[in-house]
Structure 1
Amino acid sequence: MVRSSTPANDPRYDNRWKMPGYTGHICSVSETIAATPVAAQRKAFFRNGTEMDPSAVDPTPQPWRDACNNSQLHKKHIPDLLWPTICEGTKPYHGKDRNSSLCLGDPRFEMKVTHYKDTHVHPKLQSSLWKPTNNLKDHTFDLCTMTEEEREHIYEKMLNKVGETKLQHIEDNLRLRFAAKLNTAGNNNGFRLLKLFQNFDVAKTGAVEIHEFRKAMNSFGLQLPEEAEIAMFAKFDVDHNGTLDYKEFVAHFVEGEYLDLGFSAVASCDVRQMANTQRLSHTTEIMGKKLKERFMQITSQTTTQMFMDTFLRLDEEKTGKVDREMFAKGMAELNLTFSPSELEYIFSCYDGEESGLCYSHFAADFCPNFHDSVMDPRRNPLTRHFVE
């Protein structure tokens, strides 16, 4: 007979010593008691919300243990309405407005007496949130309103204060920034440079004042001291009238080809008119050459004859000329289309009196196999039926 190794009175194995709800997991006594049916029902009763836990309803006040969370120590004074005429209101002075924010401003502050008026403005007090904080004319020295003696004194004082070495360093830095903005690919960057100065040239005079010059330098990333700005301004103010011709200023830092590309719009009227005339004449020559190459590729003796047959048929009055609409219609029948600029060029060359395009002269220049026999209806059987 094999004797059992389990003791008869061992509480670990005898069911008489097992606690209700005990599953064999070794845990603390508090967890074991919480798992019993009575404690579990009591906990579920509170969790369902039908009754509050007494410990949560009436906590024991112990301010000496947690003074930071003691609400009695942090109550603010609320003013009484003892004198309604002089009382500011029933709202606590510490109460924050619900509409207050960093973007919209804080109405608790008087913006005329605090620093908030410079960096933190309510939208009701200004037209746009994107309006710059500092006014454009915020320079200390208004050189345009000074007399010539005062301006010369300021220029000499600032040039001596900055010195030639520092001024040359500023010029080198500015030359590098101009070179970074310009490119040999075209006049796109030159046009941007022009528009940059024209944006600050409010009066469109071709010159900028000292406060506009400061804004332009800031846009290039140069935030110079006041004496350096005036020294740079004085060096390029050749006329000493308080304004700076920005074309002359940029010409000192930019090569001539970039200057012509970027600043052609600020030249004089005569220069612009002469440049436009040369450009138009050059464009006209190129257009005429391309049109002739185009006709050389598609025309032959047969197509030349078809060309003349078409226009002899369209020219009902037999004047030898056609108008713009009839010319475009005849070209469309030959599967040839022209742009408005090309039509303008053709009629400007072959319609001098504005009475119509002489298609025989046009064919003589653009059709390679054109000769007089094509236009003679008595020799040409294809055009004989057009003769009255």
Structure 2
Amino acid sequence: MLRNFLFGANLFVRSCPGKQPSFKPLSSSLLLGDNRVLAFKTLYGADFAAPFPQDVKLRSPLRNKEQCDPADLPTLYKHAFNRVGEKRLNDTVLHMKERVAGKIGNANNNAFKLRKLFAMYDTQKTGLIDVEDFRVVSESYGMQLDDDSILALFSRYDRDAIGAIPYRDLMKDLLDEDSYALFCGRDDR
């Protein structure tokens, strides 16, 4: 059998009569890329945990809890809401809605991963998330919010002024109906 070697695209290509030429180099052992690189494994495929226990609540708008009285929360919420304003708060919620929809739309299980992220910080399984944990969750999901925006958002959802919001109510407003069903799973159907 006569074999011709052609030079194309800087690769030696073997051409056999009656067969299509292959552009795979003769010395290549990588068929579809390097199997050491996991192209479809994302950050959301990993567990959401801080590397060290002391880093779990590193940043917080209410850093000095011993100096913060729970009776002051309605005043904090009101001042933050007045600084932010209704229009900017609505824009923040709309931006969060678009950001979450973009992240959720990438794959079917991303809503479940979002619930898993909230559940990791809801250690007592109350369905509530406090200000510090909400900041960490939002930043890990790619949304950087300033302290006033977070407190203004809490003024909308923390009706009892306990310093925590029911994250299912927030997600019900941020997600569409189908994504919210995926977010809830079998818990709230």
Scaled to the shorter chain, the TM-score interval is: 0.5 to 0.7
Does residue 169 (structure 1) correspond to residue 91 (structure 2)? The answer is yes
Q: Percent identity?
A: 26
Partner of 2:75: 153
Give the superposition deviation at 1:138. 4.1
CA distance in 2, matches of 1:146, 1:203: 22
CA distance in 2, matches of 1:157, 1:195: 32
Q: Is the 8 A contact 1:206 1:266 kept in 2?
A: no
Q: CA 1:185–1:219 in 2, change beyond 3 Å: closer, same or farther?
A: closer
2:164 to 243, 253, 264: 243
How do residues 254-265 of structure 1 correspond to structure 2 at under 5 angstroms? 254-265=175-186
1:192 to 113, 116, 120: 113
Q: CA 1:215–1:153 in 2, change beyond 3 Å: closer, same or farther?
A: same
Tell me the amino acid that sits aligned with residue 141 of structure 2. F
Tell me the amino acid that sits aligned with residue 82 of structure 2. N
Give the superposition deviation at 1:232. 1.2
Partner of 1:224: 145
Q: Secondary structure at the match of 1:136?
A: coil
How do residues 336-347 of structure 1 correspond to structure 2 at under 5 angstroms? none
Q: Secondary structure at the match of 2:174?
A: coil
Q: Secondary structure at the match of 1:222?
A: coil
CA distance in 2, matches of 1:152, 1:200: 23
Q: Is the 8 A contact 1:161 1:227 kept in 2?
A: yes
Q: CA 1:205–1:266 in 2, change beyond 3 Å: closer, same or farther?
A: farther
CA distance in 2, matches of 1:185, 1:212: 25
Q: Is the 8 A contact 2:128 2:165 kept in 1?
A: yes
Give the superposition deviation at 1:240. 2.3
Q: CA 1:167–1:132 in 2, change beyond 3 Å: closer, same or farther?
A: farther
Q: What do you get for the CA RMSD once the two structures are aligned?
A: 2.6
Does residue 131 (structure 1) correspond to residue 52 (structure 2)? The answer is yes
CA distance in 2, matches of 1:185, 1:221: 17
Q: Secondary structure at the match of 1:235?
A: helix
Q: Is the 8 A contact 1:175 1:254 kept in 2?
A: yes
TM-score of the superposition, structure 1-length normalised? 0.32
CA distance in 1, matches of 2:61, 2:138: 16
How do residues 291-306 of structure 1 correspond to structure 2 at under 5 angstroms? none
Q: CA 1:246–1:263 in 2, change beyond 3 Å: closer, same or farther?
A: same
Partner of 1:60: none
Q: Secondary structure at the match of 1:208?
A: strand
Q: Secondary structure at the match of 1:160?
A: helix
C-alpha distance after superposition, 1:85-107 (max 9, x if no partner): xxxxxxxxxxxxxxxxxxxxxxx
Partner of 2:41: none
2:103 to 165, 181, 194: 181
Q: CA 1:239–1:214 in 2, change beyond 3 Å: closer, same or farther?
A: same
Partner of 2:10: none
Q: CA 1:193–1:135 in 2, change beyond 3 Å: closer, same or farther?
A: closer
Give the superposition deviation at 1:239. 2.9
Give the superposition deviation at 1:265. 4.4
- Name the count of aligned residue pairs: 137
Partner of 1:215: 136
Q: Secondary structure at the match of 2:163?
A: coil
User: Which stretch shifts more, 175-184 or 224-233?
Assistant: 175-184
Partner of 1:88: none
Which structure has more strand as a fraction of its residues? Answer: 2
After TM superposition, where is structure 1 displaced by more than 6 Å over at least 4 residues in a row? none
**Greater RCO, CA 8 A, separation 6+:** 2
Unaligned stretches of 5+ residues in structure 2: 1-49
Q: CA 1:184–1:168 in 2, change beyond 3 Å: closer, same or farther?
A: same
